[in-house]
Structure 1
Amino acid sequence: MLKKIIEHFDNYPFITQKYGDYLLFREAVILILRKEHLTLAGLEKFVAIKASMNLGLSKKLEQTFPNIIPKVRLLICTTEIPNPFWINISYCWKIAR
């Protein structure tokens, strides 16, 4: 399932700042798929990624991993839609009475 999600967003990337979030998410998923998160070094990489996403680390994670340096989150500058056919019928809404 995770591989399918990654494949989809690699083929049809976000065109906003969400692309930066996606790249962090993608890196975390790859750590999980390779089972690297099961080692201390991999877990620290995972926590560094988490530190850069959304609300960052909880107080408990900050206390548990005090030396974690957040992963750099890319600043996305493009707003152009690379392919106008990306918008398809899967995004249409059906209005019911």
Structure 2
Amino acid sequence: MLIQNKEHLTMEGLSKIVAIKASMNTGLSDELKAAFPDITPVQRPNVLNCRIKDPY
């Protein structure tokens, strides 16, 4: 949605993308931490139903 609305072209949109990256498994690299020191990771949603549905 960020890219479709062309928000990634602004500094605020880029900060949103970096915040999403920060909340992912490996987090931010040292280079990104240095470039964006004030980024706080977005909160990940809680998954209530972790059961895999039977595809058959």
Tell me which of 9, 12, 32 is aligned to 2:3: 32
C-alpha distance in 2 between matches for 1:56 and 1:63: 13
Q: Identity percentage over the alignment? A: 49
Q: Over the residues paired in the alignment, what is the CA RMSD in angstroms? A: 1.4
Report the equivalent of 2:23: 52
Greater length-normalized contact order (CA 8 Å, ≥ 6 residues apart):
1
TM-score, length basis structure 2: 0.85
User: 1:76 Cα deviation (Å)?
Assistant: 0.5
1:3 corresponds to which residue? none
Question: Which 5+ residue runs of structure 2 have no aligned equivalent?
Answer: none
Pairs within 5 Å for 1:1-97: 30-80=1-51, 81=53, 84=54, 87=55
Letter in 2 for 1:77: L
| Structure 1 runs not aligned, ≥5 long | 1-29, 89-97
Q: Distance in 2 between matches of 1:78 and 1:45?
A: 27
Q: Which has the higher helix share?
A: 1
TM-score, scaled relative to structure 1: 0.52
Q: Distance in 2 between matches of 1:48 and 1:33?
A: 18
Which aligned segments of 4 or more residues in structure 1 are displaced greater than 2 angstroms? Answer: none
